[in-house]
């Protein structure tokens, strides 16, 4: 899966968008990994993420954080989305202290993240760089829509729905926070950043970008 790789920054930078997730390598260190992944999930949760998930359900897909925690198995991907780099550093430090032996991956602006990983006392191991989209696609003509849609790497947050949401914000029909939660509900991996979506929608609707 490359679900958190291609997060676009066409309408605003990635300053408020960081994903941290963990996994066991299946068949290598996955035996009895559930308890380790649950420990990691608890750490991710403690730092007040704006989205939280286990790779199959998020807090916006109808499950509570407690229910997700209870369902974590050996193949779970505990994932959390944060809006501050400082928080990511704190999370990484705590994960290092917990020493569960699971792989941990951070997504976001790599120029900032490499420094952050090192600040947390870790040595970055491998990177997956996004070269963006080759060929033509609809979102290229609408940066706000493309930025929001790219936050679900599986493409499950429909561009048409995003356009409608921005229009509803513009007309004052619905508040951006509720709409962002609705959009987040399509992203089963839980890496959609609803706070960033609010900022992008408000900005695209010409209503500033302060989070409601």
Partner 1 sequence: MSVIIIEDLCEGCGECAYLCPMGAISIRQKKALVDLDKCVECNTCVRSGICKNAALREDAELRWPRLIRKLYSDVLAEFEATGVTGRGTEEMKSNDVTGRYGCGEVGLAVDVGRPGRGAFVKDIQKVITALLRVGCELGADNPLAGLFDVSTGECLRPETLDERVLSAVVEAKCPISKCASALNALKTLAETLDTCFSVGVITRIIDGEKIEALEVIRSAGFEPLPSAKINVGLGRPGEE
In the region spanning residues 63 to 82, those forming contacts with partner 1, defined by CB under 8 A, are 75
Residue 161 in contact with partner 1, rule: CB under 8 A: yes
Show the binding pattern over residues 165-184: x = contacts partner 1 (CB under 8 A), - = does not: --------------------
Residue 155 in contact with partner 1, rule: CB under 8 A: yes
Using an 8 Å Cβ cutoff, are 79 and 104 in contact? no
Of 141, 117, 119, give the one whose Cα is nearest residue 127. 117
Using an 8 Å Cβ cutoff, are 57 and 190 in contact? yes
Euclidean distance between CA atoms 4 and 116, whole angstroms = 18
Give whichever of 28 and 208 is closer to partner 1, judged by the CB atom: 28
The least CB distance from residue 23 to partner 1, in Å, is: 6
Euclidean distance between CA atoms 101 and 108, whole angstroms = 23
Alpha-carbon dihedral 76, 155, 5, 14, rounded to 10 degrees:
-110
Q: Which of residues 105-144 bind partner 1 (CB under 8 A)?
A: 105-111, 113-114, 117-118, 120, 122-139
Interface residue with partner 1, options 83, 150, 193, 203 (CB under 8 A): 150
Candidate segments 79-87, 96-104, 173-181, 196-204, binder of partner 1 by CB under 8 A: 96-104
């Amino acid at each position: 899966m490359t679900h958190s790789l291609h997060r676009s920054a066409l309408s605003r930078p990635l300053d408020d968008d960081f994903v941290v997730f963990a996994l066991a390598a299946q068949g290598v260190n996955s035996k009895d990994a559930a308890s380790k992944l649950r420990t990691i999930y608890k750490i991710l949760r403690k730092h007040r993420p704006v989205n939280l998930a286990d790779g199959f359900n998020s807090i916006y897909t109808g499950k509570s954080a407690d229910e997700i925690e209870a369902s974590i198995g050996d193949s779970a991907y505990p994932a959390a989305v944060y809006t501050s780099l400082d928080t990511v550093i704190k999370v990484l430090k705590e994960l290092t202290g917990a020493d569960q032996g699971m792989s941990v991956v951070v997504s976001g602006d790599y120029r900032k993240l490499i420094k952050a990983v090192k600040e947390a006392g870790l040595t970055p191991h491998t990177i997956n760089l996004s070269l963006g989209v080759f060929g033509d696609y609809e979102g290229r003509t609408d940066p706000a829509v493309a930025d929001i849609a790219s936050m679900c790497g599986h493409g499950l947050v429909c561009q048409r729905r995003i356009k409608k949401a921005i229009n509803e914000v513009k007309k004052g029909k619905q508040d951006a926070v509720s709409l962002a939660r609705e959009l987040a509900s399509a992203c089963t991996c839980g890496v959609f950043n609803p706070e960033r979506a609010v900022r992008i929608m408000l900005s695209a609707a010409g209503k500033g970008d302060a989070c409601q």
